[in-house]
Amino acid sequence: MDRFEAMRVFSRVVERRSFTLAAEDTGLPRSTVTDAVKQLEARLGVRLLQRTTRHVSPTLDGEAYYRRCLTILSDIEDAEGAFAGAKPKGLLRVDVHGKLARHFVLPGLPAFLTEYPDIQLYMSEGDRLVDPVREGIDCVLRVGDLQDSDMIARRVALLDEVTCVSPEYIARFGMPQSLDDLAGHQMIGFWSTATGGLLPLEFTVSGAIRNISLPAVISVSGADTLVAAARLGLGIMQAPRYSLEDDLKNGTLVAILPDHPPTRTPVSLLYPRSRQLSPRVRVFIDWLSREFVTRQEDK
């Protein structure tokens, strides 16, 4: 194994805190990964990693060497990519919000992978805030306001939101014509993992935001369950309009209070501040930014 490949292997061990996971990521036998790190330590004359039966972590020298490795490997990728005709290649790991990805990301992926045939894409799906470095993720696609993080965020879209109820709900509670009419109504509570509580309904009034909390006979923490509960007439809900297009078209849900829409929801791509963007991550982020613009314009 050459020196640069050994640097890549070592960097993955540091990021994954595991020889086994680093071996899976690189497609190498675990013994090869272990030998590569031992050879680096012998060449440098320092211990790079602290090893226990359950945990692997960099020493102070290992952390400093890891940072230098990131810079060197990024420079190599940039240098190779600068030649005419050279295209990014390798495994790209992306963590996405599932429904958003199915609507905005998947439709254009065949064209992206045709343009970059040497990129292999792994797409994990979830709503929790992942640790990209520790979990080996290159970038993360997330919806909503972002919590404080040491990751770099690039906003790629602002999604229109809509307030909805079912026809059965209207038959029971009536159609609210103004925000004052919401007295006596109920909402479906959406539990926020970020705040640890139920989110209020949000309305725009003369350019200002007004939050209204209504009684909730049911509260949920999943977007699909929120919509399912609204279809059953259990309360008022708010969600991105793209995710409710079929319901609004079919009449299973009805938009209410259109003069006071919720604020638009941001969509962001996040990537580790400590890791310079590789060419394959850079082209993916640029492509996905264009995809969101194109698909919103096509609505």
Does 104 lie in the same domain as 248? no
Using 50, 70 and 90 to split pLDDT, how confident is the model at 241?
Answer: very high
pLDDT in tens, 30-59: 999 999 999 999 999 999 999 887 789 999
| Higher pLDDT among residues 8 and 129, named by residue | 8
Residue that is last in its domain, among 43, 59, 81: 81
Whether residue 253 is found in the same domain as residue 170: yes
Mark whether 144 and 291 lie in a shared domain.
yes
Report the CATH number that the domain containing residue 194 is assigned in CATH: 3.40.190.10
Over residues 55-105, the pLDDT tens digits come to 899 999 998 898 888 878 877 776 776 665 678 888 888 988 888 889 899
Closest CA to 287 of 100, 146, 121, 111: 111
Q: 127 and 189: one domain?
A: no
Do residue 24 and residue 56 come from a single domain?
Answer: yes
Domain that holds residue 30: 3-81
Is the pLDDT at 121 greater than 80, yes or no?
yes
* pLDDT (0 to 100) of residue 217: 92
282 and 167 both lie in a single domain: no
pLDDT in tens, 130-141: 666 667 788 888
Among 177, 180, 168, 182, CA closest to 230: 168
pLDDT value at 182 more than 70: yes
pLDDT averaged over every residue in the chain: 88
Instruction: For the chain, report the end-to-end CA distance as a whole number of angstroms.
Output: 51
Residues 142 and 273 placed together within one structural domain of the fold: yes
Amino acid 222: pLDDT = 86
Alpha carbons 79 and 73: distance in angstroms, whole number: 10
The rounded distance, in Å, linking the Cα atoms of 88 and 113 is: 11
Question: Could you tell me if 144 and 274 lie in one domain?
Answer: yes
Beta-bridge partners for 157: 267
Q: Which of 15, 49, 81 is the C-terminal boundary of a domain?
A: 81
Where a domain ends, among 81, 111, 140?
A: 81
Residue 35's domain is classified under what CATH number?
Answer: 1.10.10.10
DSSP β-ladder status, 90-96 and 139-143: parallel
Q: Is the pLDDT of residue 227 over 90?
A: yes
Number of domains in the chain: 3
Q: Kindly state whether residues 186 and 245 are assigned to the same domain.
A: yes
